[in-house]
Amino acid sequence: MRDFGGTPERADPARESASGTGRDSSGTPKGPAPGTAEGPAIRVALPTHLRVLADVGREVEVWLSTPSEATQRRLLDEVERLHPRLRGTIRDHDTGARRAYMRYFAGRDDHSHDDPDALLPAVVRSGEEPFRVVGAIAGG
């Protein structure tokens, strides 16, 4: 079912549990070994076309080893490491700069032009809100 902003999209439960939350095909978490990461997983919400490409659910979870690493750059590096098909789709493959038609949000706040090495907002670092990657629409 397509998601046009109305009724929430219904994902295949097997696919959602296997790959949508940072788990491998056997359902084992892709996160770090116990005790190697501090704090909750950071949730990253992806647009439909990137979810299809990476074969994941609405969100992926990323664990960073320390809270000081919770920056846009480090988060997206880890998303691309866990899901290599996404490399070059959210950021330029060579420079790492945000692609022109991709936007980043935390809650209602646009963080697309933030310094990539600045800490992510507290609501994202705590796992309360996902870091949203949104494909912008252009045209007239």
Q: Is the pLDDT of residue 31 over 60?
A: no
Confidence band of 38 (pLDDT split at 50, 70, 90): low
Q: Is the pLDDT of residue 124 over 90?
A: yes
Give the pLDDT score at 9.
40
For tokens 């796992």, name the residue. Answer: 127
DSSP state of 94: T
Q: Is the pLDDT of residue 22 over 60?
A: no
Give the pLDDT score at 7.
36
Using a pLDDT cut of 70, give the percent of the chain over it: 71
Confidence band of 14 (pLDDT split at 50, 70, 90): very low
60-112 tens-digit pLDDT: 999 988 777 899 999 999 999 999 999 999 999 889 899 888 999 998 899 99
**pTM greater than the 0.85 cutoff:** no
Give the pLDDT score at 137.
77
